[in-house]
Structure 1
Amino acid sequence: MAGRKVEALKGDIRQLKYEISNFQCQIPAVHEKIDEKYAIMKEMMRKMLEVQTKTTSSEGGAAVGQGSGGNPNTIRREEDQEVKILGEEEEMPPLEPLPRRGKCEGVGFLVNNAGINFNLGSENSIEFAEKVIETNYVGTKRIIETIIPVMKPSENGARILNVSSRLGRVNGRRNRLGDANLREKLLTDDYLSEELIDGMVADFLKQVKDGTWTANGWPQMFTDYSVSKLAVNAYTRLMSRLLSSRPEGHRIYINCYCPGWVKTAMTGWEGNMSAEEGADTGVWVVLLPNQSPTGKFFAERREISF
């Protein structure tokens, strides 16, 4: 009997991992251990896992860390059977096929953490630019398109959060787009479309390839990364509009946020915030109550401009 209950609990935890880890599909080398390279996502997973398991405790008898030294990596049920979730030094298990919603409740929230970069300043190459755009923007878009059909119906609405950056702001102080016409179109709902965003990215890659990008008003700092996040921000607003017609009980709220200059491998450990601090706003946005904002950009627990 106890064995069957443990197996059932393991099934619950597998479902929880699907929701928390975004299936790990959008991270390059998906079977790698989530270590310092993905510090922000790891911290978000930890925080949301605590919330989810506490919720499970109030609804169905599971609790975090009770009788186990307060270890947040262990769930204990009343049968006194412990199931380990995932320790910091453990490898991620192989990914299972995406479940259909007939076999599970569905995905409650999706966090897209795709973020790679190679160039810092004026030097660039089409090889690096294509990899960054493909991972950060195209990968995020594909994940969203794939997961939306299996998102869980809820009176509070499912949530999508795209981890972005202030470097991708249209009118950023340091990385403002030079093309005034493109700026206007990106910020105007009547113009904003997937074709516009994809066309912008294609134009950028073409100019990187022929060496003219530096003279055409593209961001000069972390260029590939900035353009990819500019596209992610625009796509977030577009999807918010397209999802707005869904009926009550099937709403999906989509937003993006900037974690800040966090001490991670991407910043060369030169950031001024810890991973925990960087993850805070992301968790806050995902867990906002019913009638959540959508199509917005957040940082430090406040809305900022695109």
Structure 2
Amino acid sequence: MSTTNQSKKVALVTGGNRGIGFAISKQLALQGISVIIGSRDIRQGEAAARSIAPPPAGGTTTTTTTTVSAFELDVTDQDSVDKLASTIHSRSGKLDILVNNAGVLLDETDNLPSKIDLQIVKATLETNLIGAWRLCQSFVPMMKKNKYGRIVNVSSGAGALTTIQQSLYAPAYSLSKSSLNVLTIMFANELRREDTNILVNAVDPGWVRTDMGGPSAPRSVEDGADTAAWLATLPDRGPTGGFFFDRKRIEW
């Protein structure tokens, strides 16, 4: 897909104000895609948008067609999602790319499923699974209407069944990411039955140096974001219903 074509695309990155989401937003913007950053804290979202695409100095015009904007978004709140969907529809009439990146890790030190507080489990699933599901339900109809869509669910190696079989780590988080993988397969199966041109995939960004991953993680945010940005810009008839790490399909 050429930069000329991509300049016409509109992408929403949830939790795009920092970490991997910010890096994904930046990489998409560099390809000429108009990026909408969804952020619970609108001030952080606006600051992130300005750092990616600063407004022209002195009110001068710019030749670039790329825009980066920020809107308040709480993926656990249907009203918040509906409001943003209405705004996107009125502004552009379409959403081409949805990156479900917003996520929480609330139980890293609680690694026993027999003892974890179920309220933590509920809160984790509400953001990491139901939040992504809510966004898909809200924007898939818009994608169907325009016969184009790329949905990228930012998952984790912690959600891979082979990982879960071998270790005890953050049971609520791991469960939420394995469930997100299943959701990816479900939406891909539904949408491949119709001529929708909507591709749905999950990505494992790896252990990345973010607020969540910590400073000792071996991967940069740019490395962590690369595969997500690649999946977000797949050509027509590209892969769908897969789980990817470093642009290669991996086992669920």
- Report TM bin, short chain: 0.7 to 0.9
What TM-score do you get using the length of structure 1 for normalisation? Answer: 0.61
Deviation for aligned residue 1:80: 5.4
Deviation for aligned residue 1:105: 3.6
SS of 2:201 mapped into structure 1: strand
From the superposition, tell whether residues 304 and 74 of structure 1 become closer, same or farther in structure 2 (CA, over 3 Å).
Answer: same
Contact 1:109–1:159 (Cα < 8 Å) also in 2: yes
One-letter amino acid of the counterpart of residue 114, structure 1? A
From the superposition, tell whether residues 297 and 268 of structure 1 become closer, same or farther in structure 2 (CA, over 3 Å).
Answer: same
From the superposition, tell whether residues 104 and 53 of structure 1 become closer, same or farther in structure 2 (CA, over 3 Å).
Answer: closer
One-letter amino acid of the counterpart of residue 155, structure 2? S
One-letter amino acid of the counterpart of residue 161, structure 1? V
From the superposition, tell whether residues 93 and 169 of structure 1 become closer, same or farther in structure 2 (CA, over 3 Å).
Answer: closer
Structure 1: runs of 5 or more not aligned: 1-12, 28-32, 55-70, 178-218
One-letter amino acid of the counterpart of residue 100, structure 2? N
The correspondence for 2:135, drawn from 130, 143, 166, is: 143
Contact 1:263–1:269 (Cα < 8 Å) also in 2: yes
From the superposition, tell whether residues 244 and 167 of structure 1 become closer, same or farther in structure 2 (CA, over 3 Å).
Answer: same
SS of 2:125 mapped into structure 1: helix
From the superposition, tell whether residues 256 and 74 of structure 1 become closer, same or farther in structure 2 (CA, over 3 Å).
Answer: same
From the superposition, tell whether residues 41 and 94 of structure 1 become closer, same or farther in structure 2 (CA, over 3 Å).
Answer: closer
The count of corresponding residues between Structure 1 and Structure 2 is 212
Superposed, 1:94-243 pairs within 5 Å as: 94=72, 97-99=84-86, 101=89, 104-120=92-108, 121-122=111-112, 124-151=116-143, 157-170=148-161, 172=162, 174-176=163-165, 220-243=168-191
Superposed, 1:1-306 pairs within 5 Å as: 19-22=10-13, 24=14, 27=15, 34=17, 38-52=18-32, 73-74=53-54, 81-82=61-62, 92-94=70-72, 97-99=84-86, 101=89, 104-120=92-108, 121-122=111-112, 124-151=116-143, 157-170=148-161, 172=162, 174-176=163-165, 220-247=168-195, 250-306=196-252
Residue of structure 1 in register with 2:37 after alignment: none
From the superposition, tell whether residues 53 and 110 of structure 1 become closer, same or farther in structure 2 (CA, over 3 Å).
Answer: closer
Q: Structure 2 CA distance, aligned partners of 1:162 and 1:261? A: 16
Contact 2:29–2:67 (Cα < 8 Å) also in 1: no
Q: Structure 2 CA distance, aligned partners of 1:125 and 1:103? A: 42
Higher strand fraction: Structure 1 or Structure 2? 2
Deviation for aligned residue 1:161: 0.4
Contact 1:108–1:158 (Cα < 8 Å) also in 2: yes
Contact 2:209–2:217 (Cα < 8 Å) also in 1: yes
From the superposition, tell whether residues 162 and 94 of structure 1 become closer, same or farther in structure 2 (CA, over 3 Å).
Answer: closer
From the superposition, tell whether residues 243 and 86 of structure 1 become closer, same or farther in structure 2 (CA, over 3 Å).
Answer: closer
SS of 1:263 mapped into structure 2: coil
Deviation for aligned residue 1:39: 0.9
Q: Structure 1 CA distance, aligned partners of 2:152 and 2:54? A: 26
From the superposition, tell whether residues 235 and 97 of structure 1 become closer, same or farther in structure 2 (CA, over 3 Å).
Answer: closer
Choose 1 or 2 for highest CA Rg.
1
One-letter amino acid of the counterpart of residue 143, structure 1? L
Residue of structure 1 in register with 2:38 after alignment: none
Deviation for aligned residue 1:270: 2.2
Deviations 1:22-44 (A, max 9, x none): 4x4xx4xxxxx92xxx3101011
One-letter amino acid of the counterpart of residue 222, structure 1? A
Structure 2: runs of 5 or more not aligned: 1-6, 35-50, 74-82
Contact 1:20–1:49 (Cα < 8 Å) also in 2: no
Q: Structure 1 CA distance, aligned partners of 2:68 and 2:234? A: 26
Deviation for aligned residue 1:267: 1.8
Deviation for aligned residue 1:301: 1.1
